[in-house]
Structure 1
């Protein structure tokens, strides 16, 4: 059973808002109406249903109430609002919930739509808001359609007189009713006797809100007043009614459940469903305090006094106990400088963790001696692979005869020469002693700590002024090529990458030469880091990075790496070349070391690296909607004959489908559509065939078009008009069976003053072709339906054609070829129909499609400007490539190689120099990139200006 019920719930229609343009217009009109009326309006009120809260579609509610006769008619029928809620998709299983739902639905219509309904459907001014919106729909002030201020005042006067009259006519409860026994019912219970209860309320009467309304409290005070004052206001039978006296006394003591305030119809209905919460029982436990349990507190005080009298035993003082000692930072620093192997092992182990986890706050300048201690530990790597002990001399005058003495103040200029004179030890890659491994591990930890700490820019700037670190990097980078040294060399390159932005390195600098030597490696990681370190030299200083004396082998390697499909390596090579080609002398060296005639085309190809085609449609003329017309086009001849032989109502259905289409924003008058139908088939009435009446014809329109409906409208100062809303006349007929539109003949006819052209329609281009030849050109086919190819004097009358505006003598074959250009071929029509079938939506003939132009361009990597996000800027490899090309074009004309080439070209009769030779073959591609790549256009333009200078 549970499955069956759940299936039924799933099949129920759930109410939803249909947000159509018509709905939007209706809500806007409704909001403007309430704003002008000065009443509150909620466009989407919520209602509770068994499926959760739903938002009410006021347009659906409005139409449903109108279809059932209006608000007053529905209110007359019991449970009609509940049935309406079910029809709209609002459901509830239990009767209580359904009753509340139907009442709230009625209240929503009454509050938001009733006044609008009176004005829109009945053309009368709605009652004031004081007697409509501000009064509950459950009030008994009569129907909404006939409600007025007079009926409202009359109802108020009658409501004030009715209670007194009923009270006087009602018999006393103690009086027996004679018809009780006769009717056979059980005897009624005797009235409850209420004992006397003295007055305990305040002596001062409360302030009354109205002098005309009478409350039980006023009646009670009138009883206690002197007889002369209360005789007129209190009925005589009240003294004999103990129940009413009890109610009056209870009203003085507290809120009475029997008290009903006056004018209860205007009170809120929300209090009727309120149920007070049940009282909660809270368990209580006694708490001992000095007042309720003094004996317990006296016992506690005696126990505390005995504890205070016990002498404390003296504790022995243990050295070091009670003193936490220095923090972990100071502990590691002192352990590192102690030169005790175990202490250094402890310090380096923790320094690696601290530098990795707290690298954002761990600074060298806060711990004096930390940098020197780590460098000293790192220099011990020399003793593992060479017979030497590197030591730093901070006196400024190191011993020149001692190979291991390093200048700690100015740096060791001949450090590379000293390394070349050293004799390497025989160290095996995969087999070492325990002592060697432990010492090597400590050295790696010291270098790793430096590497982690210089990732902070403050530490990198600080260490750039520590010259022994440069010597340490040179020593590590020039160690033997062993596998166990790969990791430590990568650490040294990472350190160099962070230091070089703060360094000014000349061509004879040991660190610069060591970094260039790494570019001869086969390790991709070594090459990448070395290229980045070299490219960043002097990045954060005012000094220019000259990058002089780069070996030709390094330049050739860089050009070869550009050919690899490795974006990271390619980006690093282009950064290096950008810095390198900024100097004229370097461009001269590049021309002599590398075949630039092959390099430049590859750099031009990189301008489109990662490019993709972007397509965008620009609207030239927006979409337009043709205005509707009351004129209905006549049926084509073939369709007229076909429908004339069809019986009703099928004939009516096909006629409507042929000449009309749905349009929610248009309408046509009923008399116009009926007259058009009569004009098409009125002649058949005399033949005795069955014809539809006007009423049946109007009803059939709603059967053909679902959204079409007959309405009555009337504008300000106008008479009523009977229209059919939701349809409009087609501009061209449509075959109801094939769903294919007829082709209009656009031949201009001066004899037709209304349209100015021929009004015939044809289903095929061949029929239209024969029609033009016979009807407009007067050419009649010969025997067998063949046309003679003779000369004809004619003018093309097709609308908009300017090919033959004046009479010309042409052969018939040439004439027919021209006419066929105006007639759509069957292939084009089939193609358009297939595209419409793919879109799965009918084409609206009254919509003129927008005229668009499709643009496509080439887009590479771009970035957004931080100050103006709408501006797109070039980035990545294409930007680096164009900057390198621009440097070459700017500086190549200043080199010695340029002078040599110019002299050579003068002897051979040529001209142009290196720019002509390098960039002339790629000029078309440069212009193409400038045209299609918006982000790169500015840079390519500046490059072309340099290339094309005379």
Structure 2
């Protein structure tokens, strides 16, 4: 398989996990290390790349970081993690994506491998998880090898400081260039606050003294102004001498005046740092509630006086007329969700009709956000409404009790906490009502419509996973499904039953149902239906039991009739039903006891060939041409092949320029990348009709060159001259053919390869012939000297001869043999030429003519079967088996693995010991289809691995 293409179209490796024994051992050690350390660990973290998400091979990452010198050394090199991601096969073309990828790769090593790296490579205890895994890799706490709790606290305290110390702050008069070079802003210059002398009176007024007597207000103002002044003036270096009389007087005046905006705090260099991070608390708005007093609400106190007088007179015990509480102005009422919930729980038919109508729309349109846990009581209300369906067809009124006391005396009460285990017995004992299927009263039709809407609302909401997790714990839902699915077989109930089956399909993956569970028995009973939709949904619901749980779904207690029906449904040409049956069989045959039941219920010798037939379901024959040798182009040469004898006889009596035209068509062809010198082509033409034939051409060289351009439209005469060479006269755009071609039929001639002389430098025969018959006669008469009579026959006499055809190894030395045997062997060398049909005319035939200087590529056709395949997101370039063929081979593998563990296997082996074949059930079931299994393994790439594992289980080891 070709490697995946990386950025730029180049063939680069895409990161994948190599699950080698070394990798598995490393992951086990790493898992144990993190469990002992008490940190979370993810064996295969995911990273986004330009090819999609990939799972990180932590073993490769660990080895690569060790090769780079370790985590701390790698952090010292800029963009080192991005380069490491590229080496591991993680690619991104843009800088933003590559930066995010490299940071996440670094974070994965820091979180899952840094502590193990310290322990494994240095034999030291890694830093505590509070200062390693629980911190980001971008934190500035120093290298992980030298990280301790003391320097962690020191760095954390340094990071919390907002005001630099005196040693850290540069001088104000000499701005540094380092800040500018690193992109930081220069610090603002310190604010210069002019001195403002106190001009107020030295004596306090009563208002001022009273104001300062409030300690809370005074402290708040002093803290606020003092802190603000300290933040504004912390750059001013001031000296404070408590022994200075001027400072003592100013401090006394400030204490008498309170906080002042001109207050200058003490020098930040001499003051404590504890007050730096303090920020004043913002003012808090306190809600004020008016208190009724006789002054602001006299009407209320007058009402109280009247009530006291009435009670004193004896009329105070009469009930007061309650007045409705009016909503405040502008209140539009509750939202539609709360409105529907309260209407459903009210029990009023009109309100419930309104609520259910809107709940169906809301659950369909907003099902992705409409959750049961956000509206408490909604699930219970819908279930209670749906339980009313029982009273329409039976003499029963189902009620749910949440008291926890299971009372069997009243069959109408359902246990809402743990479910009703005898719900099926109660349903069997119900008294049915007489209901006409196609003629119902209006009241019954309306009630059934509302009940169906309640079930439909639950069905829509259970398409959300959060709602499924919520409803799994609501046990009355299971009783409701059993009640609905055991309703009479009426057409009016088909819709609500399908909704109930859809609900069961959504909740069964989170349920653990044994063979005695009422819901499990109810779903099995649906497989006896004649409705295709009911069978499909019930099969999917049963196959998905406990799919998302750790417990195994054993599917015990399946009736034999159901198994026979499933085998019959497999014979139908219904892909959806076939797929559901195979999913059920895959879960069912995974248990040994179930395989035993399957052998007793159905004829497995007929089932296995059908399952093998399904391995090619939907298969297509794919044909691919494999190139064994690429196409080759012969080098351009000035050697012109000789003119065949039959064409020479035709052209010698032809007038010019027709003879020239035909000669060029016979021995030359167009090639835009080739050329021939004018002297070479002119000499070849003179040799064809000059010295060899005794005929002189009356064409001049210039006329001949012009004729070349007339025959070949792309040919043109040119003069070329290379560096240090003499100029040459050439004809560009044509080249000599390797074999002549007939100027009318465009059939190619074949060269005779009989070797006239032998030795280290053999000389072959250079004559060309059109068709195999002329060459065969030529070899017999010219090379073997065998006469042919007038009737075209030869005498079959014994001769002593050898075959001198080039590269022939049959008769290399002379031997005695019959002439007929020799001639039959010679015919194997003579080619058989098909004449090209001339239906389109010679012009179109010339265009489609194969180039003689091109040797076609040698190819081989490969054909195989291709079934349904799917791609894995972790390996998008690898096609994996899917669909019905995959399900069929998995069922076959389960049967082959578990049938040898059954009691029937022991009984069969005992009976085979008495006589007959041996090998057990695998030999009996799979021996007739072994040839087909090997054929599928050879032709189907996607199923080859599964068939191989199946054959390993089937074949017996001697």
TM range (shorter): 0.5 to 0.7
Relative to 1, partners in 2 of residues 1:751 and 1:646: Cα closer, same or farther, differing over 3 Å? farther
Relative to 1, partners in 2 of residues 1:821 and 1:751: Cα closer, same or farther, differing over 3 Å? closer
Aligned partners of 1:834 and 1:771: how far apart in 2? 33
Alignment match, 1:868: 875
Alignment match, 1:910: 917
Aligned partners of 1:872 and 1:499: how far apart in 2? 32
Give the length in aligned residue pairs. 632
Aligned partners of 2:926 and 2:540: how far apart in 1? 29
Aligned partners of 1:671 and 1:338: how far apart in 2? 112
Q: Is the 8 A contact 2:746 2:849 kept in 1?
A: no
SS class of match (1:719): coil
Q: Does 1:893 align with 2:900?
A: yes
Structure 2 counterparts to residues 757-796 of structure 1, below 5 A: 757-781=764-788, 786-796=793-803
Alignment match, 1:349: 357
SS class of match (1:619): strand
Structure 2 counterparts to residues 235-250 of structure 1, below 5 A: none
For residue 374 of structure 1, report the CA deviation from its aligned partner. Answer: 0.4
Offset from partner CA, 1:10-53 (integer Å, 9 cap, x none): xxxxxxxxxxxxxxxxxxxxxxxxxxxxxxxxxxxxxxxxxxxx
For residue 765 of structure 1, report the CA deviation from its aligned partner. Answer: 2.3
Q: Is the 8 A contact 1:752 1:758 kept in 2?
A: no
Alignment match, 2:399: 391
Aligned partners of 1:579 and 1:386: how far apart in 2? 37
SS class of match (2:852): coil
SS class of match (2:757): coil
Decide which of 791, 795, 817 is 2:824's aligned counterpart. 817
Structure 1: segments with no counterpart, 5+ residues: 1-316
Offset from partner CA, 1:535-578 (integer Å, 9 cap, x none): 00000100100000000000000000000000000000000000
For residue 829 of structure 1, report the CA deviation from its aligned partner. Answer: 5.1
Q: Does 1:421 align with 2:435?
A: no
Aligned partners of 1:833 and 1:629: how far apart in 2? 34
Decide which of 642, 654, 663 is 1:655's aligned counterpart. 663
Decide which of 795, 808, 815 is 1:808's aligned counterpart. 815
Alignment match, 1:135: none
Alignment match, 2:598: 590
Relative to 1, partners in 2 of residues 1:380 and 1:782: Cα closer, same or farther, differing over 3 Å? closer
Aligned partners of 2:921 and 2:815: how far apart in 1? 63
Decide which of 930, 949, 954 is 1:942's aligned counterpart. 949
Aligned partners of 1:645 and 1:699: how far apart in 2? 22
Q: Is the 8 A contact 2:746 2:845 kept in 1?
A: no
Offset from partner CA, 1:438-486 (integer Å, 9 cap, x none): 2111111111100100011111111011000000000001111111111
Alignment match, 2:558: 550
Q: Is the 8 A contact 1:618 1:855 kept in 2?
A: yes
Q: Is the 8 A contact 1:901 1:913 kept in 2?
A: yes
Alignment match, 1:706: 713
Alignment match, 2:608: 600
Structure 2 counterparts to residues 870-885 of structure 1, below 5 A: 870-885=877-892
Aligned partners of 2:556 and 2:846: how far apart in 1? 66
Relative to 1, partners in 2 of residues 1:458 and 1:835: Cα closer, same or farther, differing over 3 Å? farther
Aligned partners of 2:837 and 2:948: how far apart in 1? 44
Alignment match, 2:585: 577
Aligned partners of 1:833 and 1:798: how far apart in 2? 37
Q: Is the 8 A contact 1:652 1:697 kept in 2?
A: yes
Q: Which has the higher helix share?
A: 1
SS class of match (1:759): coil
Offset from partner CA, 1:47-99 (integer Å, 9 cap, x none): xxxxxxxxxxxxxxxxxxxxxxxxxxxxxxxxxxxxxxxxxxxxxxxxxxxxx
Alignment match, 2:274: none
Offset from partner CA, 1:255-277 (integer Å, 9 cap, x none): xxxxxxxxxxxxxxxxxxxxxxx
Alignment match, 1:633: 641
Structure 2 counterparts to residues 352-751 of structure 1, below 5 A: 352-683=360-691, 691-750=698-757
For residue 766 of structure 1, report the CA deviation from its aligned partner. Answer: 2.4
After superposition, the CA RMSD in angstroms is 2.2
Q: Is the 8 A contact 2:754 2:806 kept in 1?
A: yes
Q: Is the 8 A contact 2:481 2:519 kept in 1?
A: yes
For residue 832 of structure 1, report the CA deviation from its aligned partner. Answer: 13
Aligned partners of 1:888 and 1:526: how far apart in 2? 27
For residue 756 of structure 1, report the CA deviation from its aligned partner. Answer: 2.5
Aligned partners of 1:617 and 1:838: how far apart in 2? 27
Relative to 1, partners in 2 of residues 1:686 and 1:734: Cα closer, same or farther, differing over 3 Å? closer
Aligned partners of 2:818 and 2:359: how far apart in 1? 102
Structure 2 counterparts to residues 15-94 of structure 1, below 5 A: none
Relative to 1, partners in 2 of residues 1:685 and 1:382: Cα closer, same or farther, differing over 3 Å? closer
Aligned partners of 2:694 and 2:823: how far apart in 1? 43
Aligned partners of 1:820 and 1:909: how far apart in 2? 57
Q: Is the 8 A contact 2:633 2:854 kept in 1?
A: yes
Aligned partners of 1:881 and 1:835: how far apart in 2? 57
Aligned partners of 1:832 and 1:632: how far apart in 2? 27
SS class of match (2:594): helix
Q: Is the 8 A contact 2:746 2:846 kept in 1?
A: no
Structure 2: segments with no counterpart, 5+ residues: 1-324
SS class of match (1:698): helix
Offset from partner CA, 1:633-665 (integer Å, 9 cap, x none): 221222222211111111111111111111111
Offset from partner CA, 1:402-455 (integer Å, 9 cap, x none): 001111000000000011111111111122222211211111111110010001
Q: Is the 8 A contact 1:707 1:726 kept in 2?
A: yes
Q: Is the 8 A contact 2:423 2:479 kept in 1?
A: yes
Aligned partners of 1:366 and 1:520: how far apart in 2? 39
Alignment match, 1:128: none
Q: Is the 8 A contact 1:349 1:445 kept in 2?
A: yes
Decide which of 829, 850, 855 is 1:848's aligned counterpart. 855
For residue 384 of structure 1, report the CA deviation from its aligned partner. Answer: 0.7
Relative to 1, partners in 2 of residues 1:353 and 1:745: Cα closer, same or farther, differing over 3 Å? same
Aligned partners of 1:682 and 1:847: how far apart in 2? 31
Aligned partners of 1:830 and 1:628: how far apart in 2? 27
SS class of match (2:817): strand
Relative to 1, partners in 2 of residues 1:543 and 1:390: Cα closer, same or farther, differing over 3 Å? same
For residue 499 of structure 1, report the CA deviation from its aligned partner. Answer: 0.3
Q: Is the 8 A contact 2:631 2:856 kept in 1?
A: yes
For residue 835 of structure 1, report the CA deviation from its aligned partner. Answer: 15
Relative to 1, partners in 2 of residues 1:588 and 1:626: Cα closer, same or farther, differing over 3 Å? same
Q: Is the 8 A contact 1:647 1:690 kept in 2?
A: no
Aligned partners of 1:570 and 1:860: how far apart in 2? 16
SS class of match (2:596): helix
Q: Is the 8 A contact 1:429 1:482 kept in 2?
A: yes
SS class of match (1:617): strand
Aligned partners of 1:332 and 1:510: how far apart in 2? 32
For residue 361 of structure 1, report the CA deviation from its aligned partner. Answer: 0.6
Aligned partners of 2:838 and 2:832: how far apart in 1? 11
> So what's the TM-score if we normalise by structure 1?
0.65
Relative to 1, partners in 2 of residues 1:799 and 1:907: Cα closer, same or farther, differing over 3 Å? same
Relative to 1, partners in 2 of residues 1:758 and 1:662: Cα closer, same or farther, differing over 3 Å? same
SS class of match (2:918): coil
Q: Is the 8 A contact 2:745 2:838 kept in 1?
A: no
Relative to 1, partners in 2 of residues 1:414 and 1:839: Cα closer, same or farther, differing over 3 Å? farther
Q: Is the 8 A contact 1:580 1:586 kept in 2?
A: yes
SS class of match (1:663): strand
Q: Is the 8 A contact 1:685 1:691 kept in 2?
A: no
Once structures 1 and 2 are overlaid, which stretch shifts more, 776-785 or 391-400?
A: 776-785
